[in-house]
Amino acid sequence: MRPFEYTRADGLDRAAQLCGGGARPIAGGTNLLDLMKLEVETPEELVDINRLPLGGIEERAGGLRIGALVSNSACAADPRVRRDYPLLARAILAGATFQLRNKATTGGNLCQRTRCYYFYNIDQPCNKREPGSGCSAIGGFNRIHAVLGASDQCIATYPGDMAVALYALDATVEIADASGGTRSLPVRQFHRLPGDEPQRDNVLEPGEIITAVQLPAPTGGMQIYRKVRERASYAFALVSIGAVVRMDAGRIASAALAFGALAHKPWHDPRIDELLTGEVPSDALFDRAADLLLEEARGQGENDFKIPMARRTLKAVLREATGDAA
Ligand SMILES: Cc1cc2nc3c(=O)[nH]c(=O)nc-3n(C[C@H](O)[C@H](O)[C@H](O)COP(=O)(O)OP(=O)(O)OC[C@H]3O[C@@H](n4cnc5c(N)ncnc54)[C@H](O)[C@@H]3O)c2cc1C
Ligand code: SF4
């Protein structure tokens, strides 16, 4: 690990100013410190944001506002989260381990970086780590890589679970900047596809710090998080789906679906939600939903299996969410 300056911020404005000047915020450190040990990331200064008043979960605007420093464990254990947003609790609990979830934070989890093997190996070319150096995963080992939204510069996936739930729940991210300003944006607009700038995972600008995530008022309905992975625990998803589905008189009254591990960002396709809404569940309908999801899916060789796996998982989730009516 390279030497770095360490500052413990005691005010949000100061933290944002330091980050605007090139420092990196550190929260739980469970991703950033690993990357620094491997010298994948080499920030010259870290700003510890753990003493900022960004903790706590409070009721706001009919929903819940979850502070950026709320640990994943605390979020998943909150009785209001468990009652009204069980999808979020389940997605968090499907990730990592007790120890990691105790340290990992809401803001840090959203910003966690890809698990592409080549990204973590500084001896290998990687456009995300070093723009212009090439992508070792294209034509290499790409079992965990993207089948949707990839570019010819990067085929990495976003690996997290919590964000998939936040996409299905249509949460909003609150962000503070170095000039003392704030902005909010739908979480569905927070992460980026790689395009020709794969080094950028999300839309945060230097100096911007996530302060909270706002959940909208609960909608009820069936909430499911299904994670397909190689082991029962302590493994990232190969395919995951977050679903919020409300039924009314045998029809799907509303549906919101998000998909993990298929693309550089959690994947939300509003056409799928629209297709399902108002319809009577059927196997044919679920196939059409899967057709929409996968119409532009392209495997890279070793990850071709993800395409039929995503179809099967989507159909299984929809059957369960609609009460096995199909
Ligand atoms: C062995 C292992 C297994 C794991 N398994 C899973 C899994 O199955 N599913 C899953 O989803 N995750 C998994 N994780 C990832 C884990 O969830 C993340 O490391 C964690 O959520 C990151 O949160 P943190 O607070 O520790 O972030 P940090 O490591 O502190 O920061 C991560 C990034 O976010 C930035 N950042 C932190 N806070 C803010 C903020 N408020 N505003 C702006 N930027 C910020 C940092 O600068 C850094 O770039 C695993 C991790 C490990 C080590
Ligand atoms: S897929 Fe992306 S992260 Fe992985 S080697 Fe290629 S450029 Fe790097």
How far is the centre of ligand 2, averaged over its atoms, from the C-alpha of 310 (Å)? 22
pLDDT tens for each residue of the chain, 326 residues long: 999 999 999 999 999 999 999 999 999 999 999 999 999 999 999 999 999 999 999 999 999 999 999 999 999 999 999 999 999 999 999 999 999 999 999 999 999 999 999 999 999 999 999 999 999 999 999 999 999 999 999 999 999 999 999 999 999 999 999 899 999 999 999 999 999 999 999 999 999 999 999 999 999 999 999 999 998 888 999 999 999 999 999 999 999 999 999 999 999 999 999 999 999 999 999 999 999 999 999 999 999 999 999 999 999 999 999 996 55
Q: Which residues pair with 252 in a beta bridge?
A: 247
Closest CA to 277 of 227, 219, 214: 219
- Nearest alpha carbon, ligand 1 atom 7: 95
How far apart (Å, rounded) are the C-alpha atoms in residues 97 and 102? 8
- pLDDT for residue 326: 57
How far apart (Å, rounded) are the C-alpha atoms in residues 303 and 138? 11
How far is the centre of ligand 2, averaged over its atoms, from the C-alpha of 294 (Å)? 22
Buried b (16+ CB within 10 A) or exposed e, 235-262: ebbbbbbbbbbbbeeeebebbbbbbbbb
- pLDDT for residue 247: 97
pTM of this structure: 0.98
- pLDDT for residue 325: 56
Question: Among positive and negative, which fits the CA dihedral 41, 46, 48, 52?
Answer: negative
Q: 144: Cβ below 6 Å to ligand 2? A: no
- Nearest alpha carbon, ligand 1 atom 3: 96
Q: Which residues contact 73 (CB under 8 A, 6 or more apart)?
A: 92, 98, 101, 102
Q: 156: Cβ below 6 Å to ligand 2? A: yes
Which atom belonging to ligand 2 lies closest to the Cα atom of 126?
Answer: 8
Any idea which ligand is nearest the CA of 128? 2
Beginning with the edge strand found earlier in the chain, give each strand of the sheet holding 222-228 in spatial order: 222-228, 239-248, 251-260
Residues with CB under 6 A from ligand 1: 24-32, 34, 49, 68, 95-96, 100, 103-105, 107-109, 111-112, 160-162, 204, 209-210, 236
Mean pLDDT for the chain? 97
How far is the centre of ligand 1, averaged over its atoms, from the C-alpha of 13 (Å)? 22
Which atom belonging to ligand 1 lies closest to the Cα atom of 35?
Answer: 29
How far is the centre of ligand 1, averaged over its atoms, from the C-alpha of 238 (Å)? 18
Neighbours of 147 (CB within 10 A): 26
Q: 112: Cβ below 6 Å to ligand 2? A: no
